């Protein structure tokens, strides 16, 4: 008989916490104290819950870097340099904070972070919190172009789907008139017409390779 899968409720029961608290901690909710988050992460590893089952006999600490810490260029609370052997940074896009991490002198791997020097004249960018899928915003950017490019490459499928809809409303055919690609192989890429060209991200493999490199 196969062993039943570990659930969030199992983790909650083992720590005498609510299921909601465990769920929030695993999703990086700021309302959960750092000490509680660390207890929960440790238990998920111990019980081999989902992706945490890949971690064995290692001390893992997860820190959510807040915007205030990025702006002030300070390390997260409870981050003790003397207890850290290596760092894996995920989705860190601030160059100054990236340099701060580099200057710690620890083995560090950056995944999905700022690295390349881009020619922004070829890019449409706004603040991270900007509503990139707003139809009005997309149309304003398209109307401001003297000539459309031969292709649009998007940060993710969600934004790409928004552009596809805007282009179709302008009677621009895809892929006959213009090429559109997304990134992350989401469900939306397969249900839109025409189907979206996208890139699949092998998240588990990336995490395993990052851990091996560290």
Provide the 8-state DSSP code for 12: H
Q: Is residue 173 part of a domain?
A: yes
How many whole angstroms separate alpha carbon 159 and alpha carbon 50?
A: 29
> What is the pLDDT at residue 205?
81
Is 174:157 a contact under the CB 8 Å cutoff? no
Residues 201, 205: Cα–Cα separation, whole Å: 9
Number of H helices, E strands in the chain: 9, 4
Domain-located, residue 198: no
Q: Is residue 200 part of a domain?
A: no
Q: What is the pLDDT, as a whole number, of residue 50? A: 62
Asked if the structure places residue 20 within a domain, the reply is yes
Can you give the CATH number for the domain in which 13 is found? 1.10.260.40
Domain presence at residue 210 = no
Q: What is the pLDDT of residue 63?
A: 78
Does residue 102 share a domain with residue 125?
Answer: no
Tens of pLDDT, residue by residue, the chain (214 residues):
345 678 888 899 999 999 888 888 877 677 888 888 888 888 887 887 765 544 545 566 777 788 888 899 998 877 888 878 888 888 888 888 988 998 998 888 888 776 656 676 777 877 656 677 778 888 888 888 888 889 999 888 988 998 999 999 999 999 999 999 998 888 888 888 889 999 988 877 877 787 777 7
Do 178 and 128 lie in a common domain?
A: yes
The answer to whether residues 108 and 134 belong to one domain is no
Coil vs helix vs strand at 179: strand
DSSP code for 131: -
161 and 183: one domain? yes
CA angle 28, 19, 3 (to 5 degrees): 105
DSSP codes, 106-169: S-EEEES-S-S---GGG-----TTS-TT-HHHHHHHHHT-SS--SEEE-SSHHHHHHHHHHHHH
130 in any annotated domain: yes
Answer whether residue 1 is part of any domain.
no
DSSP E strands in 36-133: the ranges are 87-90, 108-111
Q: How far apart are CA 22 and CA 65, in angstroms?
A: 19
If one counts the domains in the chain, the total is: 3
Residues 52 and 71 in one domain: no
Select from 40, 57, 74 the last residue of a domain: 57
Residue 177's CATH number: 3.40.50.2300
Question: Of 72, 97, 116, at which residue does a domain stop?
Answer: 116
How many Cβ atoms sit within 10 Å of the Cβ of residue 36? 15
Check whether residue 43 and residue 75 sit in a common domain.
no
**Whole domain around residue 171: which residue ranges?**
120-191
Residues 124 and 186 reside in one and the same domain: yes
> How many residues are recorded in the chain?
214
**201 in a structural domain:** no
């Amino acid at each position: 008989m196969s062993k039943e899968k570990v659930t969030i409720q199992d983790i909650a029961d083992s720590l005498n916490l609510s299921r909601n608290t465990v769920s929030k901690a695993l999703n990086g909710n700021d309302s959960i104290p750092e000490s509680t988050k660390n207890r929960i992460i440790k238990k998920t590893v111990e019980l081999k819950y989902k992706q945490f089952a890949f971690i064995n006999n290692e001390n893992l600490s997860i820190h959510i870097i807040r915007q205030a810490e990025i702006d002030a260029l300070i390390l997260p609370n409870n981050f003790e340099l003397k207890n850290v052997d290596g760092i894996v940074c995920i989705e860190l896009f601030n160059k100054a904070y990236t340099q701060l991490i580099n200057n710690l002198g620890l083995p560090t791997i950056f995944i999905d972070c700022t690295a390349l020097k881009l020619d922004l004249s070829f890019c449409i960018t706004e603040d991270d919190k900007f509503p990139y899928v707003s139809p009005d915003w997309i149309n304003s950017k398209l109307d401001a172009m003297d000539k459309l490019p031969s292709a649009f490459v998007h940060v993710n499928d969600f934004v790409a789907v928004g552009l596809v809809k805007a282009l179709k409303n302008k009677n621009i055919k895809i892929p006959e008139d213009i090429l559109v690609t997304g990134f992350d192989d989401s469900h939306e890429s397969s249900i839109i017409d025409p189907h979206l060209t996208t890139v699949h991200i092998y998240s588990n493999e990336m995490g395993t390779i990052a851990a091996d490199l560290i």
